[in-house]
Structure 1
Amino acid sequence: MTVEDNTTTEQKPKATFETVELDEPIARGKTTIREIQVRKPKSGALRGVALTDILQMDVSALTKVLPRITEPALTEADIRGLDPADLVQLGGTVAGFLLPKKMLEGNE
């Protein structure tokens, strides 16, 4: 077991974001949302859902998780009204965040 001690207070880990451009923008009052930033979730944002459901892009699981990790924060109503292609893009982004680095290295 390897334990690293990174006690420098100046170097805090930065959140990982990915921007998803929507095919069908979301209209929210006078505002039109054309892109969503998705933040790599911490374990707490995944509470109440099975990781396998997220990896399989289960709509119910995504409906629970996406409001916790998107900017602007999507509502459940926003997610239910998404174009299916946009939901697939967002779900694929979230699923990609859950893959170990070793698995991603082979695809680059």
Structure 2
Amino acid sequence: MIVEMRVYYCAPTRLPALLARFRDTTLGFFEKYGIEQIGFWTTVVGQDNHALTYMLKWDSMAQREARWSAFQSDEDWIAKRNETERHEPIVARIENSFLAPTDFSALRYPISG
């Protein structure tokens, strides 16, 4: 299993729009493509309170590439995403990381390629 952590930094005042897009649209596409979430978090205290952090679980990098590519190229998803940003952008910047547990982590799993 591989864990991907994604952080979306929103344009000022646009976090509610991003949360609505995930709740009302994106999660349906995740389900369609078999993209499994671990969880979603907003920042309460930290450097940027306009951020959404979430984690996804993958069986392998090959699975991640196939499913994420299919999701990102879905014409319905592209149209719905573009509609939510028709008047102004929502996301200013995205960071993503792939995480591996330490040998002393409470959550341990094998890393696969």
Task: Give me the TM-score of the superposition, normalised by structure 2.
Answer: 0.26
> Which has the greater radius of gyration?
1
Using CA pairs under 8 Å that are at least 6 residues apart, name the structure with larger relative contact order, 1 or 2: 2
Task: Say which structure is richer in strand.
Answer: 2
Task: Give me the TM-score of the superposition, normalised by structure 1.
Answer: 0.27
